[in-house]
Structure formats: C-alpha cells, structure tokens
C-alpha cells in the first residue's frame, strides 16, 4: 500500500499549488476549530453565576467565536473546492497515462487481456480512485493538523486532562488498523470480480445476435448470475469488514468522552480547573476523535481506491513495445522485395508454431497464403508487420531487416484490409480518409468508386456526410468491409495485405472488388490470406501452410497437378 500511495502522490504533485492551498485552508480551518472551544470556555468563565456576568468580556468572546465559525465555513468551502480539483485533475492524469500506455502496448497484451477488464480499469477503477482521493484527501489533511493542534492546546491547558484524551487515540487507531489490514484483500478481490463482470457483459452484448440465434439466453443469464454472485459475495465481505471500523472506533471514542467527563468533573469539584475548562475539554474530546472517525468513515472508499489504484498501476507497469527511436534504417521508396530467412516463432514457448521458415518474394509478386485454420497464415502477417517479433531468424524488406526500421516507417509500406472491420464514430468521409487526412473530396469519392462503395454511400441519408455509429452498427457487414477497402485504396500503399478481405461481401460485389484489387496490386507486392480459393487463382505464387510450415508452393495449375493439400482444399470447395 505504501508504494501505491507514493505513486498516487506522484500524480498529485502535478497539482502542487492546489495542494499548498489545501494545506493552508486545512490549517486555518483546524486552527479556528481548535480555538473555538478555548474561546467558548473563556465565555463561560465570564458568566460565573446570577449577577456575576462580565458582559463586556462575554460579548467580546461571543464575537470572536462568531468570527471563528465564519472563517471555518469559508475556508472549509475553499478546502472542499481545492480537494475536488486535485482529485479530478489527478485522475485525469492517471487516465491519460493509461491511454498513452494502451497505445504503446504490444499486440501480445491485447491477445491475453479481456477488453472489458481493461475498460473497467480505465473507467470504474479510475472513478474509484477519484472518490477515494476526494474523501480521503480532505479527511487526511484536515485530520493530521487537527490531531497535532488539539494535542498541543490540550497540553497547554491541562496536562492530566490532555493525557486522558490523547491516550484514547492509540486504541482507536489500532482498532481501525486491525480492520483495515483485513479489508484490503477483500477490496482487491472486489475490483477483480468487477473487471471480470465487465468483460463478460461486453462479450455478451457484442455477440447478442449469435446468442439469440443459438437460443443461449438462459445459459448467458446463468453465467452472468454466477459472476455477479461472486462480485456480490466479494463486495459484501469487503463492506462488512470495513463497516466494522467506524462503529468500533466510535465505541472507543465514546468511552474516552465518558472518562473525560468524569475526570474533568472531579477536577472541577476539587477546584483545580474551571467549569469553562471542563467545557473546553469535553469539546476537545470530540474534536480529537473526529479525524479518526472521519478517516474510518471513508475507509471503505479509501480501501477500494487503493485496490483500484493497484490494478491501474499493474496496467501501467506492462512493458510497452521496445522503443525504435534509434532505428538505423529508413525506407524512402519501397520496391516490395520480402525475404524470410530461417524464421522461427511461437506465441507459447512450449508450443512451436513456425520453425526455420525460408521464403523469397520478388517485388510486385501477388502472393496468396492458404491452409487450414491454425496453420500460421495470419502469424506470417503479424511477423511481417512487427505486431510480434521473430524468436530467431530475420525478415527483410528491400534488403533491410525490419527490426532496423521504425515500426511506423515499416507499417507505412503496407495497406491492411482485415476480415474484422473497424470503423469509428464519424462521417463516412472521415472514415475513408482515416489514413490520409488531407485527401480531397474527389480522391475520397474515387477511392469509394474503386472499392464499389460509392453507390451504397450515395443511398445513405446524407451520403458521404452520413454519421456512422462507433463500430459501424448502422451498416451491414458488407458495407463496413467496402469502406475499409476504400480507406486502403485512398492511401495507395506500396504493398498490400488482404486477410479474408472479401469474406463478408456477396459474390457479385466480390467480383467487382477483385477487379479493383487486381488493378490496385498491379506492380505491387501483395499478400492475400484467403479461404475462398476462387479469389486467389490468379496469384503469382500460392503458399500452402500447415502447422506453421510451407508444405507446398507454386501457382494454381502446378499445385493442382501435385494433387496435394491445395488440391484437396480446392476440390472440397468446388467438387
């Protein structure tokens, strides 16, 4: 917890002026609060009985008391505003750090992490930290000053009475600490279960059509209920344990108040202190205990905030992609010669996938990659784009090892059209121009025409200015694919990667797209991953993969004549 606190403090330091203002306001509020019982005691001592009232002194003390209460309210308001600003600014910086880290994290992180859990850290955990800071920060700043200040003033007024009040503090502290240590683990489990629930909910919402189609609503409800039940149990245990803290410390504080009343009453009767001092110490017994009560009162949020902060920092501690700022090479004009030399790679060290792969692709070649599911087709693309780095061997483009290039420079040489489309919330025009922001309207329309998307775009309510919902929910799967193809055609990259790019398009549109691709790939190196073998018959070279190895290669006619795996795959589709 100590490390987590100091890391949070590192973000809070960015609001240093507000922290100084908060401490100053807390100091003034605490001083006014601590002086109020003293002044009240003096006012009471100026009224010793019937006919024995010093009205001038009483009025003076009452005026001072009113001024103290007014200042307490004013600077308390300023303290509240400052701590609000600190909390929201700090969480804003934390979210910015998380987003920056998410942008830099390698593909391996997203392959193993749940999107819902990652989003939960970004949203729910950050909100939990904000709530904890908002309540805990104010209680901590004001509480420390109040405890120290009240102890000093009580010792000045009367040492025996001060000792009576102060000795109650360790008891309340140890009670709170005993409970805190046991609730911390529970709040960590609660945050983890919440991330699990968010991940499952996102998965179900995203696949709701499939769930309905297979009639799996009841199973989904059952699984959700089980996860929700685990979250309920974890949250209930955390709340029950943390809820014991406040009443436990209050019992200790109430016993202290009773003891203070008895001791002060005895001292007053024996003439060793005045009635006003008795009144002051009874108030001080409450003031001194108040910070402990306030901190334990927000303990639930503080514990939840620390548990959430730990989950956030685990994300921030994920290693980003290795920096390539010092990359020695740069491609200006790409010819498109690609060489795989003794390449070996596996996602899991215990399960080898690609071993000693050698491949020489000449500039301008149209290369098709086919094979059964899990053969390693997409892995080749992941390695070529440096979403993953090879375990051994090398991949070069135009004679340059791709590890000697900046990733941005490498990826600028490729245009990718994937089976899984991605569109963002914006207009059709903005989505097509995503890779070329300075594109003219004429260029955007020409790219859409080449992709076969212009006709359906013009039928949309506002044509190219029609807004697309995030994920393209208001478009069909085929329409979304056409827009992503138009996006690549606009960029016009030196090399192309088509990963099942026409799988969501009807046969008639596919033929139009195929002609557009043939025109686009003319004179360029292109990689086409396809299950529809009819789309790659005209490829210059077809690589047939199985279990991470290239088992056959050649053009369509030569592979069919071999009567091997390719022929079996082709005949299975067209027999």
Say whether pLDDT at 156 is over 60.
yes
**What are 92-144's pLDDT values in tens digits?**
889 999 888 888 888 878 877 777 788 888 888 888 888 887 777 677 777 77
Run of H or E including 64: helix 55-104
Assess whether 294 and 392 both reside in one domain. no
Residue 535 lies in a domain: yes
559: its two tokens: 């592979």
For residue 524, give the DSSP letter: S
| Most confident option among 102-116, 226-240, 331-345 | 331-345
Residue 94: give the domain boundaries.
2-316
CA-wise closest residue to 544 among 564, 571, 525, 518: 564
**Burial call 11-50: b when 16+ CB within 10 Å, e when fewer:** bbeebeebbebbbebbbbbbbbbbbbbbbbbbbbbbbeee
Q: Supply the mean pLDDT for the chain.
A: 81
**Which pLDDT value is given to residue 80?**
86
Place of tokens 């993969």: 545
Distances (CA, A) of 72 to 22, 61, 80, 149: 13, 16, 12, 15
Assess whether 281 and 391 both reside in one domain. no
Place of tokens 């609001």: 15
- Under the banding of pLDDT at 50, 70 and 90, the label for residue 224 is confident
Partnered with residue 426 across adjacent β-strands are: 468
**Which pLDDT value is given to residue 568?**
86
Residue 330 lies in a domain: no
Place of tokens 């514990």: 303
Say whether pLDDT at 381 is over 90.
no
Place of tokens 């360790």: 170
Assess whether 304 and 344 both reside in one domain. no
**What are 481-490's pLDDT values in tens digits?**
888 888 888 8
DSSP β-ladder status, 366-370 and 525-529: parallel
User: Cβ distance 314 to 118 under 8 Å?
Assistant: no
**Which pLDDT value is given to residue 51?**
58
**Which pLDDT value is given to residue 52?**
67
Residue 343 lies in a domain: yes
**Which pLDDT value is given to residue 46?**
75
**What are 451-468's pLDDT values in tens digits?**
888 888 999 888 999 988
Residue 255 lies in a domain: yes
**Which pLDDT value is given to residue 497?**
86
Of 316, 350, 383, which one is at a domain's C-terminal end?
316
Assess whether 343 and 419 both reside in one domain. yes
- Under the banding of pLDDT at 50, 70 and 90, the label for residue 401 is very high
123: its two tokens: 């949203």
| CATH code for the domain in which residue 352 is found | 3.40.50.300
Output 298 or 146, whichever has higher pLDDT.
Answer: 146
Assess whether 299 and 345 both reside in one domain. no
- Under the banding of pLDDT at 50, 70 and 90, the label for residue 70 is very high
Q: What average pLDDT does range 384-405 have in this prediction?
A: 90
Assess whether 343 and 307 both reside in one domain. no
**Which pLDDT value is given to residue 537?**
82
Output 508 or 398, whichever has higher pLDDT.
Answer: 398
Cα 430 to chain centroid distance, Å, stands at 26
Among 43-52, 228-237, 459-468, 565-574, whose mean pLDDT is lowest? Answer: 43-52
Q: How many structural domains is the chain composed of?
A: 2
Of 316, 351, 378, which one is at a domain's C-terminal end?
316
Assess whether 397 and 456 both reside in one domain. yes
- Under the banding of pLDDT at 50, 70 and 90, the label for residue 50 is low
Q: What average pLDDT does range 359-383 have in this prediction?
A: 84
Among 243-257, 446-460, 489-503, whose mean pLDDT is lowest? Answer: 243-257
Q: What average pLDDT does range 62-82 have in this prediction?
A: 90
Q: What average pLDDT does range 470-475 have in this prediction?
A: 74
Residue 11 lies in a domain: yes
- Under the banding of pLDDT at 50, 70 and 90, the label for residue 304 is confident
Run of H or E including 544: strand 541-546
Residue 331 lies in a domain: no
Say whether pLDDT at 411 is over 70.
yes
Assess whether 342 and 311 both reside in one domain. no
What is the DSSP annotation of 95-146? HHHHHHHHHHS-HHHHHHS-HHHHHHIIIIIHHHHHHHHHHHHHHHHHHHHH
Angle, nearest 10°, between helix axes 55-104 and 2-12? 100
**Which pLDDT value is given to residue 483?**
86
Say whether pLDDT at 49 is over 60.
no
Assess whether 348 and 410 both reside in one domain. yes
**What are 248-283's pLDDT values in tens digits?**
777 777 777 777 778 878 777 877 777 777 777 777
**What are 188-211's pLDDT values in tens digits?**
778 778 878 877 887 777 676 667
Assess whether 365 and 272 both reside in one domain. no
**Which pLDDT value is given to residue 47?**
72
For residue 405, give the DSSP letter: B
- Under the banding of pLDDT at 50, 70 and 90, the label for residue 503 is low
- Under the banding of pLDDT at 50, 70 and 90, the label for residue 177 is low
Q: What is the pTM of this model?
A: 0.66
Assess whether 227 and 358 both reside in one domain. no
- Under the banding of pLDDT at 50, 70 and 90, the label for residue 504 is low
Residue 529 lies in a domain: yes
**Which pLDDT value is given to residue 71?**
93
Distances (CA, A) of 478 to 155, 356, 451: 80, 38, 12
Assess whether 372 and 240 both reside in one domain. no
Distances (CA, A) of 162 to 43, 153, 260: 21, 9, 9
d(C-alpha 81, C-alpha 131), whole Å? 14
Cα 302 to chain centroid distance, Å, stands at 19
Say whether pLDDT at 39 is over 90.
no
Residue 413 three-state SS: coil
d(C-alpha 533, C-alpha 571), whole Å? 10
**Burial call 128-161: b when 16+ CB within 10 Å, e when fewer:** bbbbbbbbbbbbbbbbebbbebbbebbeebbeeb
d(C-alpha 234, C-alpha 186), whole Å? 6
Q: What average pLDDT does range 157-165 have in this prediction?
A: 81
| CATH code for the domain in which residue 234 is found | 1.20.1560.10
| Most confident option among 52-61, 98-107, 373-382, 471-480 | 98-107
Residue 286 three-state SS: helix
Residue 562 three-state SS: helix
d(C-alpha 562, C-alpha 568), whole Å? 10
**What are 2-14's pLDDT values in tens digits?**
788 788 888 888 8
User: Cβ distance 37 to 280 under 8 Å?
Assistant: yes
**Which pLDDT value is given to residue 364?**
87
φ/ψ bin of 369: left (φ > 0), alpha (ψ from -120 to 50), beta (otherwise): beta
Task: Report helix, strand and coil shares of the chain as percent, to nearest 5.
Answer: 65, 10, 20
d(C-alpha 461, C-alpha 355), whole Å? 52
CA-wise closest residue to 416 among 434, 438, 401: 434
């Amino acid at each position: 917890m100590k490390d987590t606190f100091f890391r949070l403090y590192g973000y809070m330091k960015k609001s240093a002026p507000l922290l100084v203002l908060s401490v100053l306001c807390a100091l003034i509020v605490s001083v006014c609060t601590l002086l109020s019982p003293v002044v009240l005691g003096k006012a009471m001592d100026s009224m010793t009985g019937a006919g024995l009232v010093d009205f001038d002194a009483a009025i003076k003390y009452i005026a001072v008391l009113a001024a103290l209460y007014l200042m307490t309210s004013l600077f308390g308001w300023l303290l509240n505003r400052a701590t609000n600003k600190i909390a929201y600014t700090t969480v804003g910086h934390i979210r910015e750090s998380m987003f920056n880290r998410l942008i830099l994290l390698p593909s391996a992180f997203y392959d193993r992490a749940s999107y819902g859990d990652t989003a939960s850290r970004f949203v729910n955990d950050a909100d939990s930290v904000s709530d904890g800071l908002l309540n805990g920060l104010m209680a901590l700043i004001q509480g420390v000053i109040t405890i120290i200040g009240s102890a000093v003033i009580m010792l000045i007024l009367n040492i025996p009475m001060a000792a009576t009040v102060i000795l109650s503090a360790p008891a309340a502290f140890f009670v709170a600490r005993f409970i805190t240590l046991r609730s911390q683990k529970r709040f960590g489990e609660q945050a983890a279960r919440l991330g699990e629930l968010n991940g499952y909910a996102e998965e179900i919402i995203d696949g709701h059509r499939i769930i309905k189609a297979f009639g799996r609503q009841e199973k989904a409800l059952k699984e959700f209920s089980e996860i929700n039940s685990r979250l309920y149990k974890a949250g209930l245990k955390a709340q029950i344990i943390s809820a014991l803290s406040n009443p436990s410390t209050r019992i200790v504080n109430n016993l202290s108040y009773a003891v203070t009343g008895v001791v002060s009453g005895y001292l007053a009767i024996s003439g060793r202190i005045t009635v006003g001092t008795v009144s002051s110490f009874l108030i001080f017994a409450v003031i001194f205990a108040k910070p402990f009560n306030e901190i334990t009162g927000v303990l639930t949020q503080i514990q939840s905030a620390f548990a959430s902060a730990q989950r956030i920092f685990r994300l921030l501690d994920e290693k980003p992609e290795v920096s390539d700022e010092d990359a020695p090479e740069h491609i200006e004009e790409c010819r498109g010669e690609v060489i795989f030399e003794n390449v070996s790679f596996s996602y899991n060290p215990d399960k080898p996938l690609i071993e000693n792969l050698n491949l020489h692709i000449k500039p301008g070649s149209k290369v098709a990659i086919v094979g059964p599911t899990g053969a390693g087709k997409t892995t080749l693309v992941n390695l070529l784009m440096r979403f993953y780095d090879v375990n051994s061997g090398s991949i070069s483009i135009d004679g340059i090892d791709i590890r000697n290039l900046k990733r941005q420079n490498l990826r600028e040489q490729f245009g990718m059209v994937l089976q899984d489309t991605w569109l963002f919330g914006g207009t059709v025009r903005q989505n097509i121009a995503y890779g070329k922001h300075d594109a003219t309207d004429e260029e955007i329309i020409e790219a859409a025409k080449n992709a076969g998307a212009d006709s359906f775009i013009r039928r949309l309510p506002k044509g190219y200015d029609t807004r697309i919902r995030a994920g393209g929910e208001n478009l069909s799967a085929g329409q979304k694919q056409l827009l992503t193809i138009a996006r690549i055609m606009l960029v016009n990259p030196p090399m192309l990667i088509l990963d099942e790019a026409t799988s969501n398009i009807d046969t008639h549109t596919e033929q139009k797209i195929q002609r557009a691709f043939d025109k686009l790939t003319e004179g360029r190196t292109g990689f086409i991953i396809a299950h529809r073998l009819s789309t790659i018959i005209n490829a210059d070279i077809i690589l047939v993969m199985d279990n991470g190895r290239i088992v056959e290669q050649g053009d369509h006619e030569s592979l069919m004549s071999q009567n091997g795996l390719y022929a079996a795959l082709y005949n299975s589709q067209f027999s």
